[in-house]
């Protein structure tokens, strides 16, 4: 999943409807509240001096400078949902001295997270680790010749978390649901029902490890009641500005 976000962002800004944005401002909290309540999973509490690390693929990466590593820095965080979530965290918890990092890399699948885990995760020593991974583990079987299966995804994910818990036994985990919006460019009938297995696996893993779970698919599904899929995503996978805001609010509601 390699993606150039800048041109698509400009296109989205030009075509977004002011009227629709007004409706969004009134309805987004209700969407998020309903999605999180429906997921029925636990939340975690944030504490003073927490180190929060966001990991994943292009949706997390989204324009970050791979040569910058300082926490709470725009270059480090990118221009997507991680930046929006960080802004909300820093406004809500100024007394906690949170240190927030982003190490997402476009195109990654779970096994590729594992290949760089020592440097891009364990060495940072996060106290809160948010992982959003899975869409490429399926999508690339359709487009890139990847031969991994749902069983590979589950096994690789378990191995990654077991390794993390061994190195960082007190880390608080946040497992984010992979999502897709059907009938928007890249996402069609060929995705289903197989892709739903990856979503279910992520939730099952969150439950197994007593992690917080961020129900992104439910949030996007409910958001379709307000505006079409092309409003929330650029291609069915990568979020628009509105989709990023939805992701940030859903993450916040799922965590603290």
Return the active site residues.
58, 235, 238
Residue count of the chain, please give it: 256
On the CB side of 160, CA atoms within 13 Å amount to: 29
Helix (H) / strand (E) element for 1: namely none
DSSP, res 96: G
Residue among 241, 250, 235, 242 at smallest CA distance from 1: 235
| DSSP secondary structure letter of residue 106 | T
**Nearest residue to 214 via CA among 256, 251, 173:** 251
* 214 beta partners: 176
């Amino acid at each position: 999943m390699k993606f150039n976000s800048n041109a698509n962002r400009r296109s989205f800004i030009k075509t977004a409807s002011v009227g629709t944005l007004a409706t969004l401002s009134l309805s987004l909290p209700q969407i998020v509240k309903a999605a999180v309540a429906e997921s029925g999973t636990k939340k975690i509490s944030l504490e003073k001096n927490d180190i929060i690390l966001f990991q994943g693929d292009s949706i997390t990466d989204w324009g970050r400078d791979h040569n910058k590593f300082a926490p709470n820095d725009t270059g480090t965080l990118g221009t997507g949902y991680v930046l929006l979530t960080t802004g909300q965290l820093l406004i809500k918890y100024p007394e906690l001295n949170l240190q927030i990092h982003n190490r997402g890399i476009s195109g990654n699948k779970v096994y590729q997270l594992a290949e760089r885990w020592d440097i891009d995760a364990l060495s940072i020593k996060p106290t809160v680790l948010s992982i959003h991974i899975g869409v490429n583990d399926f999508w690339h079987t359709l487009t890139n010749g990847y031969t991994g299966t749902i069983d590979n995804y589950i096994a690789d994910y378990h191995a990654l978390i077991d390794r993390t818990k061994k190195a960082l036994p007190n880390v608080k985990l946040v497992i984010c649901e992979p999502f897709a919006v059907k009938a928007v460019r890249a996402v069609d009938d060929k995705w289903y029902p197989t892709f739903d297995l990856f979503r279910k696996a992520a939730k099952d893993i969150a439950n197994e490890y007593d992690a917080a779970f961020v129900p992104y698919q439910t949030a996007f599904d409910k958001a379709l009641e307000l505006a079409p899929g092309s409003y929330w995503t650029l291609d069915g996978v990568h979020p628009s500005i509105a989709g990023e805001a939805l992701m940030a609010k859903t993450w916040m509601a799922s965590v603290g």
